[in-house]
């Protein structure tokens, strides 16, 4: 680590990584620091026994292929492959989809018996939506306009998106339109080789482009003088820089890492009203070497709850789980199978528990999940040799995100993230924020947008 850089990027989530790579490619000197011993942020993996578990590689929109090609290279985009079998099983319907416009339209007309004109009008309305329109319609109102009383259709349209970004029927319809449009264009995609392969490739690319990287290195403070960023304090050591890109929790950046005194009161007042997104729980199940899983689909959205209900989706009494099933083909040359069950969750449901209660609640979640999986894999207990569980506290501990927020803040946070440099010159924020700039694609793309802003700032100020 040198004493001075043009830019210090704090946090190696997909936003921070992509920002750092873009800025280094543009010729700036860049230091990337990550508090954890591994890069990737929420886009991470871990190894236990013979297993590798992907934490956040369940699916992303096809747009990721273009972003990886443009901002990382062709060897990355060539690894983007389609998730082919997406299944749904709940009290309202059981069906399989490739999750693209053609198949979704066919399901709506053939399975749900919605007239073709209504389906077309719905897709046209989504396509006509513009982020800059002052439209106040909520997603719930939009659904009611096209499919009144059809809660089965609402669930079909909404449940995967809620899993994908934690949004509810009360969010603006525009945010639904953009995310749905992203996913629906050509289906759902994944990264061949898994998260470990992608992160290893990214690390090599960053080093090749001259980025200095420090892991297990926490940024405690951003130094500001005369309203301008002048440096950072990393594990107690001062490093000078002209600009900072912060990839962690936005409220923590403002209140802890920079300090309220550097911000105007109306900005602080507005930020205090920004809602965090909900968090997640996961149960990881490793299959014994030599045993095989039957093919039960790649992504399986299951629920025993009667209708779509975003509160029920987050409740500690779990009724809805999405299974990501990893067959050996995801990591060519390997033979392992694993299942990751993901659930939306609320931090407060887990944070108040005593140590013993927390341990017991985690163990119960694993047991309940094994019971739930046995509906699809009857011998799961016989063939599974490793289980582990993550809760909102786990996500909070590994990333420092307030309340373990899976997708940063709700959409109103974007304004404050984008205005950061108007408050403190040279200070930028990137990463999951708002519904649109979330997930792998949103975070990576936002990393690029912010890198371009930083580049402009540095050119102007040199
Ligand atoms: C269980 C789960 C499943 C998901 N599944 C999917 C999916 O299938 N598809 C999809 O598209 N998205 C998924 N997501 C969401 C997606 O992973 C995130 O939106 C995205 O990875 C977030 O990227 P980010 O740039 O916001 O950074 P984050 O991943 O939030 O990383 C921020 C980084 O900053 C570091 N940091 C924070 N403060 C400091 C500091 N002071 N000093 C140094 N480092 C610091 C943290 O340690 C962390 O590494 C999932 C998320 C979760 C939790």
Measured from the CB, is residue 406 less than 6 Å from ligand 1? yes
For 199, other C-beta atoms within 10 Å of its C-beta total 21
Domain ranges of the chain: 4-79+195-275+406-461, 100-186, 276-398
Positions of the chain with pLDDT lower than 70, given as ranges: none
Measured from the CB, is residue 34 less than 6 Å from ligand 1? yes
Measured from the CB, is residue 59 less than 6 Å from ligand 1? yes
64, 194 contact by CB (below 8 A): no
Could you read off the pLDDT of 269-323 as tens digits, one per residue? 999 999 999 999 999 999 999 999 999 999 999 999 999 988 888 889 999 999 9
- Residue nearest ligand 1's atom 41 by CA: 219
SS3 breakdown of the chain: % helix, strand, coil, rounded to 5? 45, 25, 30
Pocket-testing residue among 19, 56, 257, 282, ligand 1, by greatest number of atoms within 8 A of Cβ: 56
Measured from the CB, is residue 248 less than 6 Å from ligand 1? yes
Q: Cα–chain-centroid distance for residue 244?
A: 22
Measured from the CB, is residue 392 less than 6 Å from ligand 1? no
DSSP 8-state assignment for residue 277: P
DSSP 8-state assignment for residue 301: E
Q: How many CA atoms lie within 13 A of 210 on its CB side?
A: 13
Q: How far apart are CA 188 and CA 59, in angstroms?
A: 6
DSSP 42-85: TS-EEEETTEEEESS-S-EETHHHHHHHHHT-HHHHTTEEEE--
Query: Hey, which CATH number is domain 4-79+195-275+406-461, 3.30.300.30, 3.50.50.60, 1.20.1050.10, 3.40.50.1010?
Result: 3.50.50.60
- Residue nearest ligand 1's atom 36 by CA: 11
Q: What three-state secondary structure class fits 216?
A: coil
Of the candidates 113, 166, 168, the one whose C-alpha atom is nearest the C-alpha of residue 142 is: 168
Q: How far apart are CA 291 and CA 50, in angstroms?
A: 13
DSSP 284-298: EEEEPTT-------S
What are the Cα distances from residue 104, in Å, to 18, 73, 245? Answer: 32, 31, 39
145 CA → ligand 1 middle, Å: 35
For 260, other C-beta atoms within 10 Å of its C-beta total 12
| Per-residue pLDDT at 351 | 96
371 CA → ligand 1 middle, Å: 30
Q: What is the pTM of this model?
A: 0.96
């Amino acid at each position: 680590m040198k004493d001075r850089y043009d830019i210090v990027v704090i946090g190696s989530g997909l936003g921070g990584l992509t920002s750092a790579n873009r800025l280094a490619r543009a010729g700036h000197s860049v230091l990337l620091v990550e508090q954890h011993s591994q890069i990737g942020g929420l886009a991470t993996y871990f190894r236990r026994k013979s297993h590798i578990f992907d934490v956040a590689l369940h699916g992303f929109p096809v747009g990721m292929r273009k972003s990886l090609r443009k901002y990382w290279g062709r060897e990355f985009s060539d690894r983007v492959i389609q998730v082919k079998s997406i299944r749904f099983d709940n009290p309202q319907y059981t069906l399989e989809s490739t999750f693209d416009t053609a198949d979704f339209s066919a399901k709506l007309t053939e399975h749900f018996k919605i007239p073709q004109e209504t389906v077309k009008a719905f897709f046209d309305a989504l396509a006509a939506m513009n982020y800059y329109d002052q439209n106040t319609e909520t997603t719930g109102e939009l659904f009611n306009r096209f499919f009144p009383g059809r809660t089965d259709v609402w669930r079909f349209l909404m449940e995967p998106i809620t899993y994908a970004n934690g949004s509810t029927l009360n969010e603006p319809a525009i945010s639904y339109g953009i995310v749905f449009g992203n996913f629906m264009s050509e289906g759902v995609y994944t990264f061949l080789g898994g998260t470990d392969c992608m992160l290893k490739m990214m690390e090599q690319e960053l080093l090749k482009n001259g980025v200095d990287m420090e892991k297990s290195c926490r940024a405690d403070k951003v130094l500001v003088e005369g309203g301008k960023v002048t440096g950072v304090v990393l594990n107690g050591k001062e490093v000078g820089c002209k600009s900072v890109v912060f990839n962690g929790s936005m409220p923590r950046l403002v209140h802890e890492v920079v300090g309220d005194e550097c911000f105007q009161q109306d900005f602080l007042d507005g930020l205090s009203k920004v809602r965090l997104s909900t968090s997640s729980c996961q149960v990881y199940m490793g299959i014994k070497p030599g045993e095989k899983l039957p093919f039960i689909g790649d992504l399986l959205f299951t629920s025993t709850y009667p209708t779509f209900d975003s509160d029920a989706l987050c409740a500690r009494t779990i009724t809805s789980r999405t299974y990501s099933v990893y067959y050996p083909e995801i990591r060519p040359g390997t033979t392992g199978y694993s299942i990751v069950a993901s659930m939306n969750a609320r931090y407060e449901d887990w944070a108040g528990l005593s140590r013993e209660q927390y341990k017991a609640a985690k163990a119960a979640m694993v047991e309940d999940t094994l019971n739930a999986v046995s509906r699809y894999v009857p011998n799961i207990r016989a063939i599974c040799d490793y289980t582990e569980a993550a809760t909102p506290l786990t996500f909070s501990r590994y990333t420092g995100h307030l309340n373990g927020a899976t997708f940063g803040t709700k959409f109103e946070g974007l304004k404050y993230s984008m205005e950061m440099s108007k408050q403190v010159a040279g200070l930028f924020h990137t990463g999951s924020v708002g519904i649109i700039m979330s997930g792998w694609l949103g975070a990576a793309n936002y990393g690029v947008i912010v890198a371009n802003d930083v580049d402009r700032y540095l050119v102007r100020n040199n």
